[in-house]
Amino acid sequence: MEPTAAKKKVPNPADVHVGARIRMRRMILGISQEKLGMALGVTFQQVQKYEKGATRVGAGRLLEIANFLSVPVSYFFETAVFEALETRGPNGAIVTAINEFDQFVKSSEGIKLNNAFLGINDPAVRRHLLDLVVSMSRTGQVS
C-alpha cells in the first residue's frame, strides 16, 4: 500500500482577503515587507505568508499591523467578498473565483495606477484620461 500524498492546504478566502489588504496598505504607504516585519518582530518571509493568506493573522498581530499601518482593524475586512462566486472544477471540486476587480485593485499595478490617477489635480485631465482608457478598451486595444 502506497502512502497517500499529502493534501495541499488551500488558504481560507478570509485569510487571503485580509492578507491582500495588508499588502495593499503597505504598498500604498511605500513600506517594505522587511520594514513591516521588523516592526512586528517577524521575518519578511512571515509577512509574505500573511499577505498571501498562507498563514492566518491572529487578532493581536492584526491589531499590531493596523496600528503600524495607521488604519483601524476594520480596514482589513472592508470590501470583503467572502461569498465569492463558486464554480465546479474539472474534478467536481468547488473552486472559488475571486472578484477580478478586487484582485486588480489589490495588485501592485492597480495600486500604482490608482495613486498616479489621484496625483492628477486637473479634473478635466482625469476625465480625458478616463475617456481614453474607456475608448481603448472598447476597440480591443487594451489587453
Could you report the per-residue pLDDT of 110-126, keeping only the tens digit for each? 888 888 888 899 989 98
Q: Is residue 2 part of a domain?
A: no
96: buried, middle or exposed (CB in 10 Å: 19+, 13-18, 0-12)? Answer: middle
Q: Same structural domain for residues 141 and 86?
A: no
Q: Same structural domain for residues 53 and 93?
A: yes
At residue 38's C-alpha, the angle toward residues 111 and 70, to 5°, is: 50
Q: Same structural domain for residues 31 and 76?
A: yes
Q: Same structural domain for residues 48 and 81?
A: yes
- CATH classification of the domain holding 20: 1.10.260.40
Task: Report d(CA 76, CA 21) in Å as an integer.
Answer: 5
Q: Is residue 3 part of a domain?
A: no
pTM value?
0.63
Q: Same structural domain for residues 85 and 21?
A: yes
Q: Same structural domain for residues 117 and 87?
A: no
- With cell 472559488, the residue in question is 96
pLDDT tens-place string over residues 39-63: 999 999 999 999 999 999 999 999 9
What residue numbers bound the domain in which 129 lies? Answer: 107-143
| 91 has a pLDDT exceeding 60 | no
Highest mean pLDDT among 40-44, 104-108, 131-135: 40-44
pLDDT tens-place string over residues 15-46: 888 998 999 899 888 899 999 999 999 999 99
Residue 131: per-residue pLDDT: 86
Residue 135: per-residue pLDDT: 84
Q: How many domains does the chain have?
A: 2
pLDDT-derived band of residue 108, with 50, 70 and 90 as boundaries? confident
Q: Same structural domain for residues 63 and 125?
A: no
| 105 has a pLDDT exceeding 70 | yes
Q: Same structural domain for residues 87 and 117?
A: no
Residue 72 vs residue 82, higher pLDDT: 72
